[in-house]
Chain A
């Protein structure tokens, strides 16, 4: 059996070995992330059949779970690591041609660290270990947002850093309180003991931890950093921040809420918060003229939708929410990658500068259109089955409140459709003024776009390919007793 710890160890080790490879040859450095994530993706796929039968628990240093740090490669962990590896691989291929300026070695090193941190967060079974991996993710993303080094990049990086650091401090206070209450840091052990404490003494650490993680998960009102950071970073990093970093933050929130605290009485609040986040994100996105800010606000909206789906807390809803996570990673990753080259060719982030792009960059524009349609939720793209599952789960609840909330969600989707169709209209139905030379993105940029499009189409037409993994991931989140049993035995 393959050891899931390699999913973290390989990118982490290669990140620190990367400067040494740089001593041998400057040109091979950029291929190292590609190699690392090919390995990770293959390993994660290889683990899926085993994990569906039983979660793999890795004891680090040979200490049995409540005492030592352990990794839990359950369906959720492996699903997320496969997603991280896939997006990481495609964006690393994209970066081969896209990142041409600046300290390239540091870019690739931080990129590997960011994704190693993300994989660590989704696999760990120890809450302090989760904090450490979370900080690896956050610190490398602060640095990568500032990679270009222009005014906007530095300014948004420092905003992101200050908000993120306060969030991490809250998370750490919450972890300290939990340790003071229970004397353990193991998530399964905490989950087992949480009922023995009075609800008010558990409530304070829960609020602190959710607030701390919510900053990275971009839950309203903690998301002020996101539009600046996502729009000022290089496009390849925007794709990873939108497609992976906030998803991992959301994973941590969901894991803490469902598994550790089992906080069923909080779900109504999170349903409202999710819908609020969705509506605010979509309305702000509608008002934007800058393409990357529009996509960033749209990410906030999508996070709201996923929070809402998770808060319904039925097995359909969780499957739908996780599916929406996958479809958001694929769709938003594709949109940021295509937008990157459209910005590069037109020299501006304004949507109006993309007039006539449908003729100038036909393949890139087509990929953008497919990504936009998928996020809005049109069939036959992957956004359709995921949104459909969420709507169905909300209606199956048969409560008037959820029917009203899902109505608001659909209103948000309409707004989403409006601003995405506006961009598609600019791409295809406006005459280009001035430069109309036909030149598409380079091959290294087109390959990841094509692969993203292929995934979006295949999963949209055959959702049953992934539904089994999503179902068992949903049941891992929903049944905390099974999680406790699989870790503690």
Chain B
């Protein structure tokens, strides 16, 4: 009984668990790693987690794509289209941020010759 309940819970919430797992993994990488490229990878994982979370907010199990099609004419449930539009926007923004971060990392490497954040500290509080 207990096991099957837990299994049901897991099955119903697997996307939420996965997305928050990715978010925490990304945050962990950003806090712990000292290499700038790894920090940026952490940022990318964090953003992926957020995007997965947004999609799963609008997801209905066994839902169809929210486009005007033959299956949409039937009574089959459609997933919420709004979060998908949000995710498209968020992905584009994420790409812009990552591209800018990587190009700044290249410039930083030109100046310092290292990407280790412990050795790049000209500015202080």
Contact = CB atoms under 8 A, between A and B. Distances in A.
A128 B86 contact: yes
A166 B97 contact: no
B50 A152 contact: no
Interface stretch (B6-14, B69-77, B102-110): B102-110
Interface stretch (A171-179, A249-257, A339-347, A451-459): A171-179
Contact of B39 (A162, A179, A227, A231): A162
B78 interface: no
A173 B27 CA distance: 13
B43 interface: yes
B54 interface: yes
A176 B57 contact: yes
A47 interface: no
Interface string A213-240: 0000000000010011001100000000
A165 B107 contact: no
B79 interface: no
Contacts of A284: 125
Secondary structure call for the A interface: helix
Interface stretch (A139-147, A304-312, A359-367): A139-147
Given A158-B104, A176-B50, 6 more contacts: A161-B97, A161-B101, A172-B90, A173-B53, A176-B86, A180-B57
Q: Which 3 A-B pairs have the closest CB atoms?
A: A180-B57, A228-B123, A151-B111
A154 B108 contact: yes
Contacts of A152: 122-123
A135 interface: yes
Contacts of A165: 43, 47, 97, 101
B65 interface: no
Interface of B: 23, 27, 30, 36, 39-40, 43, 46-47, 50, 53-54, 57-58, 80, 82-83, 86, 89-90, 93, 96-97, 100-101, 104-105, 107-108, 111-112, 120, 122-123, 125
A284 B111 CA distance: 28
Interface of A: 128, 132, 135, 139, 142-143, 146, 149-152, 154-159, 161-162, 165-166, 168-169, 172-173, 175-177, 179-180, 183, 185, 224, 227-228, 231-232, 284
Nearest to A160: B104
A169 B54 CA distance: 11
B96 A139 contact: yes
A151 B112 contact: yes
Contacts of B46: 166, 169
Nearest to B40: A162
A168 B125 CA distance: 23
A161 B122 contact: no
B43 A162 contact: yes
Contact of A158 (B27, B36, B54): B36
Contacts of B57: 176-177, 179-180
A128 B108 CA distance: 33
Nearest to B80: A183
A177 B58 CA distance: 11
Secondary structure call for the B interface: helix
A179 B59 CA distance: 12
B123 A224 contact: no
Interface core residue of B30, B58, B125 (most chain A CB under 10 Å): B125
A152 B121 CA distance: 9
A228 B108 CA distance: 15
A166 B82 contact: no
B123 A173 contact: no
A153 to B, nearest CB: 9
Nearest to A158: B104
A185 B80 CA distance: 13
B111 A176 contact: no
Contact of A176 (B27, B39, B54): B54
Contacts of A157: 104
Contact of A156 (B47, B96, B123): B123
Nearest to B53: A176
Contact of A155 (B58, B96, B108): B108
A173 B50 contact: yes
A211 to B, nearest CB: 12
Contact of B100 (A139, A173, A180): A139
Contacts of A177: 57
B27 A166 contact: yes
Contacts of A180: 57
B22 to A, nearest CB: 11
Contact of A166 (B43, B86, B120): B43
Nearest to A145: B104
B101 A158 contact: yes
Contacts of B23: 169, 173
A408 B24 CA distance: 38
Interface core residue of A157, A173, A176, A224 (most chain B CB under 10 Å): A176
Contact of A132 (B27, B43, B89): B89
A167 to B, nearest CB: 11
A149 B96 CA distance: 19
A159 B117 CA distance: 10
Contacts of A139: 93, 96-97, 100
Contacts of B50: 169, 172-173, 176
Given A143-B100, A169-B50, A172-B54, A158 B108 contact: yes
A142 B93 CA distance: 13
A142 B86 CA distance: 23
Contacts of A162: 30, 39-40, 43, 101
